[in-house]
Structure 1
């Protein structure tokens, strides 16, 4: 599986991530699936061209399909920040993979945003990366400013 031609950005991310000052969801997804963690400050130490390259990596649920994200990130961090990403053990069964239950955090974000609760049928029909995004946006109890725009972009609310 090859790199995308352009960085993978959702419409709701364009304002905050178009210049890649902030980590787009595609990069966050790949960090999480490989069990890597970098801070925003470390991300911003990378040259823009490197951030663009990292945002072009596929967002497939199978890390074996694209094993070079982690290698690229390590090389970039060593070269430009003289650091290495932190390792952590990824959750083998994250909530976004479960198509039989909408995660509590997502339901909470719907309540906070005064949206109807997302039903299981709509949740199950979402592609895995979109389920990941909603779950990531819903990880804190307070409202996330990108949650409603993401729900709208994914066709889950009017």
Structure 2
């Protein structure tokens, strides 16, 4: 599978990423998928075109589909920041992969936002990447400013 023609950004991210100043969800997904962690400062050391290129990698839930994201990231960071990403062991069974029940963090975030969370049926219908995004946006105890726009964009508000 090749690169997408354009960087993958949801509508709610266009403004919040501030022209790739912040790490887009597609890049966050691939970082988590490959078990890599970079800081915002490291991300911002990369030239804009490299950041856009990283956002063009596919967001399939199978690390074998596109094995070059990690290689590209390593090369870019070595070249432009003289650093390497930090490694971690990816969660083998993250809550967003479970289509049978909505993660508690998503339900909590919806409640904080004054929204009805997605029904179990709606959660199961969401594409895996969208489930990942909602789970990622809901991982902290306080309200995430992108959660409501993401829920609306995905048609996930109950």
TM-score with structure 1 length normalisation? Answer: 0.98
1:3-152 matched pairs, under 5 angstroms: 3-152=3-152
- How many residue pairs match? The answer is 158
Residue 118 of structure 2 contacts residue 157 of structure 2 at CA under 8 Å; is this kept in 1?
no
For residues 75 and 88 of structure 1, the distance between their equivalents in structure 2, rounded to whole angstroms, comes to: 18
Partners of 2:104 and 2:115 in 1: how far apart? Answer: 14
Give SS of 2:64's match: helix
Alpha-carbon distance in structure 1 between the residues aligned to 2:127 and 2:44: 29
Instruction: Please say if residues 95 and 135 of structure 2, whose CA atoms lie closer than 8 Å, have aligned partners that are also in contact.
Output: yes
Between the aligned partners of 1:60 and 1:117, the Cα distance in structure 2 is 25
**Moved beyond 4 Å, runs of 4+:** none
- In 1: Cα distance, 2:41 partner to 2:116 partner: 36
Cα deviation digits, residues 40-99 of structure 1 (max 9, x gap)? 000000011100100000000001000000000000000000000000000000000000
- Structure 1: gaps spanning 5 or more residues: none
* Preserved CA contact (<8 Å) 2:117 2:156: no
TM-score (norm: length of structure 2):
0.98
Residues 106-145 of structure 1: per-residue CA shift (max 9 Å, x gap): 0001110111132110000000000000000000011111
Report the Cα distance in structure 1 between the residues aligned to 2:50 and 2:42, rounded to whole angstroms. 12
- Residue aligned with 1:61, SS: coil
Q: CA deviation at 1:9?
A: 0.2
